Structure 1
């Protein structure tokens, strides 16, 4: 299942596809940081 992240800017939205099957640790870190459930 594909995961997507949307970055909202004043010039429009940027949609990023996250490949958890290729980089599970990186995707998990990105999602947790974006949701605020993980400290930097």
Structure 2
């Protein structure tokens, strides 16, 4: 049985970022949330 390597926080962030950048639906959701926050600040 292989030993599972624990990922560092930086590795987890990098992995999540790569997944998000390859998921157009997730990018759209993030962009919508960002636009709503910008509109609320103005």
Check whether TM > 0.5.
Answer: no
Higher relative contact order (CA 8 A, sep 6+): 1
TM range (shorter): 0.3 to 0.5
Say which structure is richer in strand: 1
State the structure with more CA Rg: 2
Say which structure is richer in helix: 2
